[in-house]
Amino acid sequence: MYNPLKDRYTKMTYNRCGQSGLKLPAVSLGLWHNFGDTANYETMKQLCFTAFDNGITHFDLANNYGPAPGSAEENMGKILRDHLAPYRDELLISTKAGYLMWDGPYGDWGSRKYLLASLDQSLKRMGLDYVDIFYHHRMDKDTPLEETMGALAQAVASGKALYVGLSNYNGETLFRAAEILKELNCPFIINQNRYSIFDRTIEQNGLKETAKQLKKGIIAFSPLAQGMLTERYLHGIPEDSRIKRDGRFLKESALSAERLGQIRTLHEIAEKRGQSLAEMALAWVLKDDEVTSVLIGASKPEQILDNIQALRNTSFTEEELKRIDEIG
């Protein structure tokens, strides 16, 4: 029987999510990779145990995480049922809907029918009565924003979600959505977007500034740029790397000579700070109060332990920030 470490909450920083009453761990565990049917179940368990033993209370999923779609939720449901059920009230479980999940016109995007049906399916796969956060996963230009936000509000009103979030939205659409959700008295508290030293899109599309203005939280996914902001590629592309095994998410062409040079320069800055490149990259995302949490992925427990070391130093000098900006 799994018994979590008693000192787990002394090992993590918890940040308030915008102006809500909810606090998130500064480092959260994403189940985008390594929790599908192609992964090893024993490893999945150890990833979850290591995370919780070190104060990571937030586990982030989506309806289509796999492969196959839905399998990450099914596997998480098994872990919850067999090992983490006694600790459900200490955990934050989030899921999303917005990408293709099933065939036909009702299994994609942002209609009321799709979102509410998907949430029911997600709860069934995980064996839960509710999720803590339910996200719309991407903007939908063809569905009225009022319909999509109304579906999120209904998810909360039905007791199937405690809070709602938006993922992959830009600043302009976020502002409009927030106004609608406020009118519906729906507890919208968080935005999930890609953000790293190598991807500043949320700075460019106004999302980061708008979230700050609205006093909403941000949780950043891919903070290590799909592994580019680690020591993995300092000396080129290893044969056993994800790029070689599966080029769906990070393609070999992304690691140009220029990019490899940037990675090596950033590594030098990290070394001078007494950090690994991954630690510095995570610390950079968390350097101000605008980002509530970073979402990490892991294929082995040791990676989780390494990543939470970033919390030892999230302060940067003006010179360090300037150099990183010049590189990124």
Question: Domain of 15: which CATH number?
Answer: 3.20.20.100
Q: Give residue 233's pLDDT.
A: 82
The answer as to whether 242 is a domain residue is no
74: its two tokens? 């099914």
Q: How far is it, in rounded angstroms, from Cα 111 to Cα 145?
A: 9
Q: How far is it, in rounded angstroms, from Cα 79 to Cα 83?
A: 6
Phi-psi region of 96 (alpha: psi -120 to 50; beta: other; left: phi over 0): beta
- Read off the pLDDT of residues 106-157 as tens digits, 9 standing for 90 and up: 999 999 999 999 999 999 999 999 999 999 999 999 999 999 999 999 999 9
The answer as to whether 319 is a domain residue is no
The answer as to whether 326 is a domain residue is no
- Read off the pLDDT of residues 196-208 as tens digits, 9 standing for 90 and up: 999 999 999 999 9
Number of folded domains that form the chain: 1
The answer as to whether 261 is a domain residue is no
pTM here? 0.94
The answer as to whether 186 is a domain residue is yes
Q: Give residue 232's pLDDT.
A: 86
The answer as to whether 109 is a domain residue is yes
Average pLDDT over residues 210-223: 98
Q: How many alpha carbons lie under 13 Å from residue 48 in its C-beta half-sphere? A: 30
How would you classify the pairing of strands 131-136 and 161-167? parallel
Cα-atom radius of gyration of the chain, to the nearest Å? 19
The answer as to whether 323 is a domain residue is no
Q: Give residue 236's pLDDT.
A: 67
- Read off the pLDDT of residues 220-271 as tens digits, 9 standing for 90 and up: 999 999 999 998 888 767 666 656 555 555 666 678 888 999 999 999 999 9
Q: 39: which DSSP letter?
A: S
Range of the domain at 288: 8-228+279-314
The answer as to whether 269 is a domain residue is no
